[in-house]
Amino acid sequence: MKLTTRGRYAVTAMLDLAINGGSRPVSLADISGRQEISLSYLEQLFAKLRRGQLVTSARGPGGGYRLARSGAEIYVAEIIDAVDESVDVTNCQGKGNCQQGETCLTHHLWEDLSGQIHDFLSHISLGDLMDGRGRRPSQQMTDGAFQTLSIR
Amino acid sequence: MKLTTRGRYAVTAMLDLAINGGSRPVSLADISGRQEISLSYLEQLFAKLRRGQLVTSARGPGGGYRLARSGAEIYVAEIIDAVDESVDVTNCQGKGNCQQGETCLTHHLWEDLSGQIHDFLSHISLGDLMDGRGRRPSQQMTDGAFQTLSIR
DNA sequence: CTTATTCTTGACTAAAATAGTCGGGAATAG
DNA sequence: CTATTCCCGACTATTTTAGTCAAGAATAAG
Protein backbone atom coordinates (compact mmCIF):
# COMPACT_ATOMS: atom_id res chain seq x y z
CA MET A 1 0.00 0.00 0.00
CA LYS A 2 1.17 3.45 -0.92
CA LEU A 3 -0.05 6.72 0.48
CA THR A 4 0.36 9.41 -2.14
CA THR A 5 -1.43 12.44 -3.42
CA ARG A 6 -3.30 10.33 -5.94
CA GLY A 7 -4.95 8.43 -3.12
CA ARG A 8 -5.81 11.74 -1.55
CA TYR A 9 -7.39 12.95 -4.77
CA ALA A 10 -9.46 9.80 -4.93
CA VAL A 11 -10.63 9.96 -1.33
CA THR A 12 -11.43 13.63 -1.75
CA ALA A 13 -13.46 12.97 -4.89
CA MET A 14 -15.31 10.07 -3.31
CA LEU A 15 -16.11 12.11 -0.25
CA ASP A 16 -17.40 14.87 -2.48
CA LEU A 17 -19.59 12.28 -4.13
CA ALA A 18 -20.83 11.04 -0.77
CA ILE A 19 -21.66 14.55 0.37
CA ASN A 20 -23.13 15.99 -2.82
CA GLY A 21 -24.71 12.90 -4.27
CA GLY A 22 -28.25 12.36 -3.21
CA SER A 23 -30.66 10.67 -5.53
CA ARG A 24 -29.06 12.29 -8.57
CA PRO A 25 -25.69 11.37 -10.01
CA VAL A 26 -22.84 13.85 -9.70
CA SER A 27 -20.90 14.85 -12.81
CA LEU A 28 -17.15 14.91 -12.86
CA ALA A 29 -17.34 18.51 -14.04
CA ASP A 30 -18.99 19.40 -10.74
CA ILE A 31 -16.39 17.58 -8.68
CA SER A 32 -13.66 19.13 -10.79
CA GLY A 33 -15.03 22.59 -10.05
CA ARG A 34 -15.50 22.06 -6.34
CA GLN A 35 -12.29 20.20 -5.60
CA GLU A 36 -10.08 21.84 -8.22
CA ILE A 37 -8.92 18.62 -9.78
CA SER A 38 -8.44 18.48 -13.55
CA LEU A 39 -11.43 16.94 -15.29
CA SER A 40 -9.38 14.60 -17.45
CA TYR A 41 -7.45 13.43 -14.46
CA LEU A 42 -10.68 12.74 -12.64
CA GLU A 43 -11.82 10.68 -15.62
CA GLN A 44 -8.79 8.47 -15.23
CA LEU A 45 -9.33 8.07 -11.52
CA PHE A 46 -13.02 7.27 -11.92
CA ALA A 47 -12.28 4.70 -14.59
CA LYS A 48 -10.36 2.87 -11.89
CA LEU A 49 -12.96 3.48 -9.22
CA ARG A 50 -15.59 2.05 -11.53
CA ARG A 51 -13.49 -1.00 -12.29
CA GLY A 52 -13.10 -1.37 -8.55
CA GLN A 53 -16.89 -1.43 -8.19
CA LEU A 54 -16.91 1.60 -5.96
CA VAL A 55 -19.03 3.79 -8.22
CA THR A 56 -21.65 3.36 -10.93
CA SER A 57 -22.05 5.68 -13.87
CA ALA A 58 -24.88 7.16 -15.93
CA ARG A 59 -24.29 8.76 -19.30
CA GLY A 60 -26.04 11.62 -20.96
CA PRO A 61 -27.37 14.91 -19.67
CA GLY A 62 -27.99 14.80 -15.95
CA GLY A 63 -25.71 11.81 -15.76
CA GLY A 64 -22.63 11.30 -13.67
CA TYR A 65 -21.45 8.99 -10.94
CA ARG A 66 -23.02 7.51 -7.82
CA LEU A 67 -21.53 5.54 -4.99
CA ALA A 68 -22.01 1.86 -5.71
CA ARG A 69 -22.92 1.28 -2.06
CA SER A 70 -23.81 3.50 0.84
CA GLY A 71 -20.99 5.62 2.22
CA ALA A 72 -21.08 3.57 5.40
CA GLU A 73 -19.99 0.54 3.37
CA ILE A 74 -17.13 2.10 1.41
CA TYR A 75 -13.80 2.11 3.17
CA VAL A 76 -10.85 4.39 2.62
CA ALA A 77 -8.55 1.45 2.02
CA GLU A 78 -10.71 0.28 -0.89
CA ILE A 79 -10.50 3.67 -2.53
CA ILE A 80 -6.75 3.86 -2.24
CA ASP A 81 -6.36 0.30 -3.44
CA ALA A 82 -8.50 1.01 -6.48
CA VAL A 83 -6.39 3.92 -7.71
CA ASP A 84 -2.94 3.06 -6.42
CA GLU A 85 -3.09 -0.59 -7.36
CA SER A 86 0.21 -2.46 -7.59
CA VAL A 87 2.46 -2.57 -4.59
CA ASP A 88 5.72 -3.37 -6.28
CA VAL A 89 7.51 -6.32 -4.74
CA THR A 90 10.96 -5.29 -5.81
CA ASN A 91 13.86 -7.21 -4.28
CA CYS A 92 14.94 -10.78 -3.90
CA GLN A 93 11.96 -12.51 -5.47
CA GLY A 94 13.12 -15.39 -7.58
CA LYS A 95 16.74 -14.51 -6.98
CA GLY A 96 18.17 -16.75 -4.30
CA ASN A 97 20.61 -14.15 -3.08
CA CYS A 98 19.11 -13.38 0.28
CA GLN A 99 22.14 -13.73 2.48
CA GLN A 100 21.24 -15.04 5.91
CA GLY A 101 17.64 -14.69 4.88
CA GLU A 102 17.98 -10.98 5.53
CA THR A 103 16.96 -9.30 2.34
CA CYS A 104 13.72 -11.19 2.46
CA LEU A 105 13.47 -10.48 6.15
CA THR A 106 13.14 -6.75 5.75
CA HIS A 107 10.99 -7.18 2.70
CA HIS A 108 8.44 -9.20 4.64
CA LEU A 109 8.67 -6.80 7.50
CA TRP A 110 7.65 -3.94 5.25
CA GLU A 111 4.85 -5.90 3.70
CA ASP A 112 3.46 -6.67 7.13
CA LEU A 113 3.78 -3.09 8.17
CA SER A 114 1.87 -1.81 5.18
CA GLY A 115 -0.64 -4.58 5.81
CA GLN A 116 -1.31 -3.15 9.26
CA ILE A 117 -1.90 0.30 7.81
CA HIS A 118 -4.19 -1.26 5.26
CA ASP A 119 -6.21 -2.89 8.00
CA PHE A 120 -6.36 0.38 9.82
CA LEU A 121 -7.79 2.21 6.80
CA SER A 122 -10.14 -0.69 6.16
CA HIS A 123 -12.06 0.34 9.24
CA ILE A 124 -12.68 3.94 8.21
CA SER A 125 -15.64 4.43 5.90
CA LEU A 126 -16.81 7.47 3.99
CA GLY A 127 -19.78 7.50 6.30
CA ASP A 128 -17.48 7.65 9.31
CA LEU A 129 -15.68 10.60 7.80
CA MET A 130 -18.95 12.42 7.15
CA ASP A 131 -20.13 11.73 10.67
CA GLY A 132 -16.99 13.27 12.05
CA ARG A 133 -15.33 10.23 13.44
CA GLY A 134 -12.47 8.29 11.98
CA ARG A 135 -13.65 4.88 12.81
CA ARG A 136 -16.54 3.03 14.34
CA PRO A 137 -15.87 2.07 17.96
CA SER A 138 -17.08 -1.43 17.26
CA GLN A 139 -14.27 -1.94 14.76
CA GLN A 140 -11.27 -1.52 16.91
CA MET A 141 -7.73 -2.43 16.13
CA THR A 142 -6.68 -5.09 18.55
CA ASP A 143 -3.29 -6.16 19.69
CA GLY A 144 -3.97 -9.45 18.00
CA ALA A 145 -3.74 -7.70 14.69
CA PHE A 146 -0.06 -7.21 15.31
CA GLN A 147 0.92 -10.80 15.78
CA THR A 148 1.95 -11.09 12.18
CA LEU A 149 4.15 -8.04 12.28
CA SER A 150 7.46 -9.76 12.82
CA ILE A 151 10.73 -10.59 11.24
CA ARG A 152 10.66 -13.79 9.25
CA MET B 1 3.31 11.60 5.68
CA LYS B 2 4.08 9.58 2.62
CA LEU B 3 4.68 5.86 2.45
CA THR B 4 6.96 5.14 -0.45
CA THR B 5 9.81 2.85 -1.35
CA ARG B 6 12.30 5.40 -0.10
CA GLY B 7 10.89 5.07 3.38
CA ARG B 8 11.15 1.33 3.03
CA TYR B 9 14.79 1.62 2.03
CA ALA B 10 15.47 3.76 5.06
CA VAL B 11 13.67 1.45 7.50
CA THR B 12 15.44 -1.54 5.97
CA ALA B 13 18.83 0.12 6.31
CA MET B 14 18.17 1.20 9.88
CA LEU B 15 17.03 -2.27 10.82
CA ASP B 16 20.17 -3.68 9.27
CA LEU B 17 22.11 -1.26 11.42
CA ALA B 18 20.19 -2.29 14.52
CA ILE B 19 20.82 -5.98 13.83
CA ASN B 20 24.42 -5.87 12.66
CA GLY B 21 25.70 -2.97 14.72
CA GLY B 22 27.10 -4.01 18.05
CA SER B 23 29.89 -2.00 19.57
CA ARG B 24 31.42 -1.33 16.17
CA PRO B 25 30.04 1.01 13.53
CA VAL B 26 28.61 -0.47 10.35
CA SER B 27 29.84 0.83 7.00
CA LEU B 28 27.44 1.76 4.25
CA ALA B 29 29.34 -0.61 1.97
CA ASP B 30 28.28 -3.48 4.24
CA ILE B 31 24.65 -2.42 4.27
CA SER B 32 24.78 -1.89 0.53
CA GLY B 33 26.04 -5.43 0.06
CA ARG B 34 23.56 -7.05 2.40
CA GLN B 35 20.46 -5.13 1.40
CA GLU B 36 21.33 -4.55 -2.25
CA ILE B 37 20.85 -0.81 -2.14
CA SER B 38 23.17 1.36 -4.18
CA LEU B 39 25.98 2.80 -2.04
CA SER B 40 25.58 6.34 -3.31
CA TYR B 41 21.88 6.23 -2.69
CA LEU B 42 22.50 5.04 0.85
CA GLU B 43 24.85 7.97 1.30
CA GLN B 44 22.05 10.34 0.46
CA LEU B 45 19.65 8.61 2.80
CA PHE B 46 22.12 8.53 5.67
CA ALA B 47 22.91 12.20 5.22
CA LYS B 48 19.25 12.80 6.05
CA LEU B 49 19.18 10.26 8.85
CA ARG B 50 22.18 11.97 10.37
CA ARG B 51 20.57 15.39 10.10
CA GLY B 52 17.56 13.84 11.77
CA GLN B 53 19.75 12.77 14.70
CA LEU B 54 18.94 9.11 14.17
CA VAL B 55 22.50 7.94 13.52
CA THR B 56 26.02 9.05 14.35
CA SER B 57 29.00 8.62 12.08
CA ALA B 58 32.68 7.76 12.37
CA ARG B 59 35.11 8.32 9.52
CA GLY B 60 38.16 6.42 8.55
CA PRO B 61 38.97 2.71 8.46
CA GLY B 62 36.68 0.75 10.72
CA GLY B 63 34.30 3.67 10.68
CA GLY B 64 30.67 3.76 9.69
CA TYR B 65 27.34 4.53 11.28
CA ARG B 66 25.77 3.72 14.63
CA LEU B 67 22.26 4.23 15.90
CA ALA B 68 22.15 7.49 17.81
CA ARG B 69 19.98 5.81 20.46
CA SER B 70 19.07 2.27 21.31
CA GLY B 71 16.81 0.51 18.83
CA ALA B 72 14.07 0.51 21.44
CA GLU B 73 14.03 4.28 21.29
CA ILE B 74 13.97 4.78 17.53
CA TYR B 75 10.54 4.70 15.94
CA VAL B 76 9.59 3.87 12.38
CA ALA B 77 7.77 7.18 12.00
CA GLU B 78 10.96 9.10 12.80
CA ILE B 79 12.86 7.25 10.10
CA ILE B 80 10.25 7.88 7.46
CA ASP B 81 9.94 11.52 8.46
CA ALA B 82 13.69 11.96 8.22
CA VAL B 83 13.94 10.76 4.62
CA ASP B 84 10.56 11.69 3.19
CA GLU B 85 10.39 15.11 4.77
CA SER B 86 7.97 17.60 3.22
CA VAL B 87 4.33 16.67 3.13
CA ASP B 88 3.15 19.00 0.42
CA VAL B 89 0.13 21.02 1.43
CA THR B 90 -1.13 21.62 -2.08
CA ASN B 91 -4.56 23.22 -2.42
CA CYS B 92 -6.43 26.18 -1.12
CA GLN B 93 -3.82 27.64 1.22
CA GLY B 94 -3.82 31.40 0.96
CA LYS B 95 -6.36 31.28 -1.81
CA GLY B 96 -9.80 32.04 -0.43
CA ASN B 97 -11.54 29.92 -3.01
CA CYS B 98 -12.76 27.14 -0.80
CA GLN B 99 -16.40 27.07 -1.76
CA GLN B 100 -18.62 26.12 1.14
CA GLY B 101 -15.46 25.45 3.08
CA GLU B 102 -15.19 22.21 1.22
CA THR B 103 -11.83 22.25 -0.43
CA CYS B 104 -10.25 22.89 2.93
CA LEU B 105 -12.56 20.31 4.43
CA THR B 106 -11.09 17.40 2.54
CA HIS B 107 -7.64 18.81 2.90
CA HIS B 108 -7.87 18.79 6.67
CA LEU B 109 -9.46 15.41 6.57
CA TRP B 110 -6.49 13.98 4.77
CA GLU B 111 -4.03 15.67 7.06
CA ASP B 112 -5.77 14.17 10.06
CA LEU B 113 -5.82 10.79 8.45
CA SER B 114 -2.11 10.82 7.75
CA GLY B 115 -1.62 12.12 11.27
CA GLN B 116 -3.26 8.99 12.63
CA ILE B 117 -0.99 6.79 10.58
CA HIS B 118 1.93 8.80 11.81
CA ASP B 119 0.91 8.20 15.40
CA PHE B 120 0.52 4.54 14.66
CA LEU B 121 4.06 4.26 13.30
CA SER B 122 5.33 6.36 16.18
CA HIS B 123 4.64 3.42 18.45
CA ILE B 124 6.68 0.86 16.55
CA SER B 125 10.39 0.89 17.33
CA LEU B 126 13.31 -0.88 15.70
CA GLY B 127 13.59 -2.86 18.89
CA ASP B 128 9.99 -3.98 18.58
CA LEU B 129 10.64 -5.14 15.05
CA MET B 130 13.70 -7.08 16.11
CA ASP B 131 11.78 -8.69 18.97
CA GLY B 132 9.15 -9.84 16.53
CA ARG B 133 6.29 -7.69 17.60
CA GLY B 134 4.99 -4.62 15.87
CA ARG B 135 4.27 -2.57 18.87
CA ARG B 136 4.52 -2.58 22.60
CA PRO B 137 1.25 -3.50 24.28
CA SER B 138 1.65 -0.59 26.66
CA GLN B 139 1.50 1.85 23.78
CA GLN B 140 -1.87 1.18 22.40
CA MET B 141 -3.84 3.24 19.99
CA THR B 142 -6.93 4.41 21.77
CA ASP B 143 -10.25 5.53 20.43
CA GLY B 144 -9.48 8.94 21.83
CA ALA B 145 -6.80 9.31 19.20
CA PHE B 146 -9.54 9.50 16.61
CA GLN B 147 -11.42 12.42 18.01
CA THR B 148 -9.59 14.81 15.73
CA LEU B 149 -10.34 12.83 12.62
CA SER B 150 -13.31 14.77 11.40
CA ILE B 151 -14.50 17.11 8.76
CA ARG B 152 -13.78 20.72 9.54
C1' DC C 1 53.96 10.39 7.30
C1' DT C 2 51.60 7.68 4.17
C1' DT C 3 47.89 5.11 2.76
C1' DA C 4 43.63 2.88 2.52
C1' DT C 5 39.19 3.39 4.30
C1' DT C 6 35.10 5.67 5.06
C1' DC C 7 32.13 9.45 5.55
C1' DT C 8 30.65 14.15 3.27
C1' DT C 9 29.03 17.03 -0.28
C1' DG C 10 27.28 18.73 -4.53
C1' DA C 11 26.19 18.34 -9.15
C1' DC C 12 24.54 15.62 -12.52
C1' DT C 13 21.68 11.85 -15.08
C1' DA C 14 18.27 8.16 -15.97
C1' DA C 15 14.14 6.11 -15.15
C1' DA C 16 9.72 5.92 -13.32
C1' DA C 17 5.51 7.80 -11.44
C1' DT C 18 2.39 11.51 -11.31
C1' DA C 19 -0.41 14.93 -13.19
C1' DG C 20 -2.43 16.80 -16.94
C1' DT C 21 -3.80 17.27 -22.13
C1' DC C 22 -6.06 16.11 -26.37
C1' DG C 23 -9.14 14.12 -29.58
C1' DG C 24 -12.28 11.07 -30.84
C1' DG C 25 -15.94 8.28 -29.57
C1' DA C 26 -20.67 6.18 -27.51
C1' DA C 27 -24.82 6.63 -24.80
C1' DT C 28 -28.82 9.16 -23.68
C1' DA C 29 -32.09 12.80 -21.87
C1' DG C 30 -34.60 16.43 -23.53
C1' DC D 1 -31.20 16.27 -33.47
C1' DT D 2 -28.28 18.09 -30.02
C1' DA D 3 -26.04 19.06 -25.90
C1' DT D 4 -24.32 16.62 -22.12
C1' DT D 5 -21.74 13.31 -20.03
C1' DC D 6 -19.21 9.18 -19.61
C1' DC D 7 -15.54 6.44 -22.00
C1' DC D 8 -11.01 5.39 -23.88
C1' DG D 9 -6.45 5.57 -25.70
C1' DA D 10 -2.53 8.01 -26.80
C1' DC D 11 0.31 11.59 -25.83
C1' DT D 12 3.08 15.22 -23.02
C1' DA D 13 5.02 17.70 -19.11
C1' DT D 14 6.50 17.77 -14.54
C1' DT D 15 8.13 15.86 -10.44
C1' DT D 16 10.04 12.31 -7.78
C1' DT D 17 12.89 8.52 -7.22
C1' DA D 18 16.94 6.15 -7.84
C1' DG D 19 21.36 6.06 -9.13
C1' DT D 20 26.07 7.99 -10.82
C1' DC D 21 30.20 10.59 -10.52
C1' DA D 22 33.90 13.24 -8.75
C1' DA D 23 36.27 15.73 -5.38
C1' DG D 24 37.36 16.24 -0.68
C1' DA D 25 37.98 15.67 4.59
C1' DA D 26 38.80 12.76 8.61
C1' DT D 27 41.16 9.10 10.66
C1' DA D 28 42.98 4.36 11.96
C1' DA D 29 46.76 1.56 11.12
C1' DG D 30 51.12 0.41 9.42
pLDDT at res. A105:
63
A101-132 residue pLDDT tens: 555 566 677 777 778 788 888 999 999 888 76
Number of alpha helices (DSSP H) and beta strands (DSSP E) in chain B: 6, 2
Residues 6+ apart with CB under 8 A from B130: A151, B15, B18, B19, B71
- Select from A101, A104, A107, A111 the least CA-distant residue to A1: A111
* pTM attached to this predicted model: 0.81
Q: What band does B38 get if pLDDT is binned at 50, 70 and 90?
A: very high
Q: Across residues A67-86, what is the average pLDDT?
A: 91
Interface test with A, best of B100, B103, B110, B117 (most A CBs within 10 A): B110
Q: Are A67 and A55 in contact (CB under 8 A)?
A: yes
Neighbours of A87 (CB within 10 A): 15
Q: Are B91 and A137 within 8 A, CB to CB? A: no
C1’ C24 / CA A40, Å:
14
Q: Are A113 and B134 in contact (CB under 8 A)?
A: yes
| A92 neighbourhood in chain B, CB within 8 Å | 36
End-to-end CA distance of chain A: 20
| B93 neighbourhood in chain A, CB within 8 Å | none
Q: Which residue of B has its CA nearest to A101?
A: B34
| A120 neighbourhood in chain B, CB within 8 Å | 116-117, 120
Q: Across residues B48-56, what is the average pLDDT?
A: 96
d(C-alpha A1, C-alpha B102), whole Å: 27
Amino acid identity of residue B128, one-letter, is D
Q: What band does B41 get if pLDDT is binned at 50, 70 and 90?
A: very high
Whether the pLDDT of residue B73 is over 80: the answer is yes
Nucleotides, chain C, CB distance < 7 Å: 4-11, 17-23, 26-30
For the segment 42-81 of chain A, residues whose CB is within 7 A of strand D:
43-44, 46-47, 50, 57-65
Q: Are B8 and B2 in contact (CB under 8 A)?
A: no
Ramachandran region, residue A85 (left: φ > 0; alpha: ψ -120 to 50; beta: rest) = left
- A115 CA to chain B: closest CA distance, Å? 12
Q: Rounded to whole angstroms, what are the CA distances from A115 to A5, A118, A121, A122, A150?
A: 19, 5, 10, 10, 12
